[in-house]
Amino acid sequence: MIVHVVCFKMKEGCSAEEAKEMLLTMREKEETALSVEVGVDFLRSPRSYDLILRVELKDREALERYQTAGYHAHTVKPYMHGVTVTERSVAVDYEL
């Protein structure tokens, strides 16, 4: 199993709660995702990111499909990395 984790820093004026709702749409629409968890940071320290996404996928092949095809690649990713939502992001992918 693969775990894909992304932390997002939102642009000034952008809502982490709205972005969370967009990410959660993958639960029903992204066929490669076995599970999707999203959390909004409450601490708001200087080193905090605003939002975290955790997705479980079957294997590396599923991760590749997730990144390049389907709902995540064509709808969610462009929204999150568009000019109005995310200032920056960091990601980690690991095997369980």
pLDDT computed for residue 84 by the predictor: 78
pLDDT category, 4, cuts 50, 70, 90? very high
CATH code, domain carrying 47 = 3.30.70.100
Q: Convert the pLDDT of each residue in 20-66 to its tens digit.
A: 999 999 999 999 999 999 999 999 999 999 999 999 999 999 999 99
pLDDT computed for residue 83 by the predictor: 73
3-state secondary structure the chain: CEEEEEEEEECCCCCHHHHHHHHHCHHHHCCCEEEEEEEECCCCCCCCCCEEEEEEECCHHHHHHHHHCHHHHHHHHHHHCCCCCEEEEEEEEEEC
Inform me whether the pLDDT recorded for 82 exceeds 90. no
Query: 22 lies in which domain range?
Result: 2-95
Tally of structural domains, the chain: 1
Q: What is the pTM of this model?
A: 0.94
